[in-house]
Structure 1
Amino acid sequence: MHITVVPASPKTGQATIRSLLADARNPTVRGVYRDLAKVPAEFKSHPRFEAVQGSVEEASSLDLSGSDAVLNITPPLYVEERDIVAHARLVSENVKAAVQKAASVKRLVLLSSVGAQYDHGTGEILTNHEAEAVLKDAAPEVVFVRCSYFMENWAPAVETVRDAGFFFTTLTPLDNSLPMIAVRDIGSACASELLGTGTPLPSTPYVFELHGPRACTSVDVQKALEEVSGKSVEIRQIPKAGLAEFYSAVFPPRIAQQFAEMNASYLEGGILYEDPQPTGRIKYGKTELVDVVKEMYGA
């Protein structure tokens, strides 16, 4: 079986490739990279891995011929003058064209997000909604893996705790819980769906949410950081009204607004908090938050 990951450079792509290469069914794996210098050494030396140059922004550069299954990841865009939803549509249409040109592709797996079912009110998640709309019929079998909040998103908290003993949280109030998933579990889930190519799906597109073993609060993050660091950790809350200002310290104004709206969508009053249209199917990863924090902390 031959599987292609496009693009292959994101951490989720790397985790999927790692899971595929470790699988006893011995699939061959192709990774598509804009810059071949970014291919990890562990993949370069593997006999069942091939790295090829290509970009989802350039349809003519994508060659998926010979692939039985394809994992697609919609890349984030942090450029102020570009429309992130229009960009998601462009790259998704390019991938769809490449999939349909390669007659061998039986299954497309899209790494998506919780909340991708909504066409408003979710900020940056709207890129996933657009990708799903374009790719829903790209292959005979289509799977949407709607991931919950990445545990690895707490990496900045690890840095401020290491340096100053505190972290910022935008997950408020402190007892508000949110499903969270580890990147390694995302890779495992995507690999499983890719390797299931040819197995009948309940529907196509087949859609499910991917959660970690339990939902977590900001206090759970604090406890994990304290356990790993061995010191007392302070939480500094960012109120809902201050989200735009908080993200503006990191992103250009329009991108900051998209992230603020996404964040607000899972707080009280937000569309994901109320969730009038839940996905229904949920699968669960095994990795605990404290183990991800430990890995990021280097403990």
Structure 2
Amino acid sequence: MTIVVTTPTGHVGSRVVRLLLQAGVRPRVLVRDADRLDGETRERVEVRQGDLTDAGFVREAVAGAGNVFWADPTPHTTADPVEVSLATAAPLVAAARAGDVGRVVLLSSVGAEKRHGVGHIDALGGIEAELDATGVDVLYLRCGYFFTNLLLDVEGLARGVLTTAFDPSRPMPWVDPRDIGDVVAARLLAGDWRGRVVQAVHGPEDLSFEQVAGILTEALGRAVRVEPVGDDAVRQALGAAGLPASAVEGIVGMAAGSRGLVPEQSRDVLTTTPTRLGGWAHVELRPVVEKADGS
């Protein structure tokens, strides 16, 4: 059984590849630059080098696969991100419709169930809808807010500021991408699920940004405070950074469309993963923040 893994050097994909190798499976990895794989991994996987926006490459690379893990590679900063994400996934959808793919595990997001009004997350809702229409066996992993998103503003954290456009007092699911990789690998290796499956991945606990600031204060060894920002301020900052208007709205919409959102699935033994933010921040985030301010 061939297992295809996209974005094999990403936060989730790299974990999936490692676990599959440890399980004795030689996955087929789709990668833009094979040199980004470490040497030991590259020797143990089947490498298909190409661009996921190249329909011909994707269609050929996934043909005959028993399982495909699909993570949308489209950066939020891309012009027309929803359209690009849908176009990138189109060859996978075509392969599923033609019966060239056995099962698909899609890295989706909390909010994709809304289908519209959640910025770039709308693309994941669209991919879900298109895969639904193929009749392929599919698993949608509706994931919470990645711990690794904190790495996007290391300079702010070095100053002791946690900026957010979310409601700072409202708890939401936070999750370590490595834990998502654990769930992906387990599902790719499991042989007994069929049909359409939705599984949330909520992390160990719901946290507000105010609570996160407290956790980071302890984990980073420095005072961290929350600084809420409005949608218009985000638009202005992103526009000043040179992002196209469509990308700006895709980013703003993710936070704006998620306000007040209650995830489709509640927290239970299936949706809860173990890694806590404090431990992750101490090991992964603290060294990066200290490097940023020369500590």
Deviations 1:40-84 (A, max 9, x none): 334124x3x12211222222213224532110111224566x422
Please point out which of 89, 93, 98 is paired with 1:92.
Answer: 89
Match of 1:278 in 2: 264
Match of 1:170 in 2: 165
Q: Does 1:11 align with 2:11?
A: yes
Q: Does 1:255 align with 2:243?
A: no
Match of 2:138 in 1: 142
Once the 2 structures are TM-superposed, how far is the Cα of residue 107 of structure 1 from its aligned partner?
A: 1.4
Match of 2:124 in 1: 128
Residues 249 and 9 of structure 1: is their aligned pair in 2 closer, same or farther, counting only changes over 3 Å? farther
Aligned partner of residue 114 in structure 2, secondary structure: coil
Q: Does 1:242 align with 2:233?
A: yes
Structure 1 gap ranges (5+)? 268-272
CA distance in 1, matches of 2:164, 2:77: 25
Deviations 1:185-242 (A, max 9, x none): 111111111111x3034xx221121101100111222122211221222322213553
Aligned partner of residue 263 in structure 1, secondary structure: helix
Once the 2 structures are TM-superposed, how far is the Cα of residue 88 of structure 1 from its aligned partner?
A: 2.1
Residues 140 and 121 of structure 1: is their aligned pair in 2 closer, same or farther, counting only changes over 3 Å? closer
Deviations 1:80-113 (A, max 9, x none): 6x4222222222221123455674x321111111
Aligned AA (2:10): P
| RMSD (CA atoms) | 2.5
Aligned AA (2:218): E
- What TM-score comes out, normalization by structure 2 length? 0.85
Aligned partner of residue 142 in structure 1, secondary structure: strand
Please point out which of 177, 182, 186 is paired with 1:183.
Answer: 177
Aligned partner of residue 275 in structure 2, secondary structure: coil
Once the 2 structures are TM-superposed, how far is the Cα of residue 35 of structure 1 from its aligned partner?
A: 2.1
Please point out which of 31, 47, 51 is paired with 1:55.
Answer: 51
Residues 116 and 245 of structure 1: is their aligned pair in 2 closer, same or farther, counting only changes over 3 Å? same
Residues 15 and 248 of structure 1: is their aligned pair in 2 closer, same or farther, counting only changes over 3 Å? farther
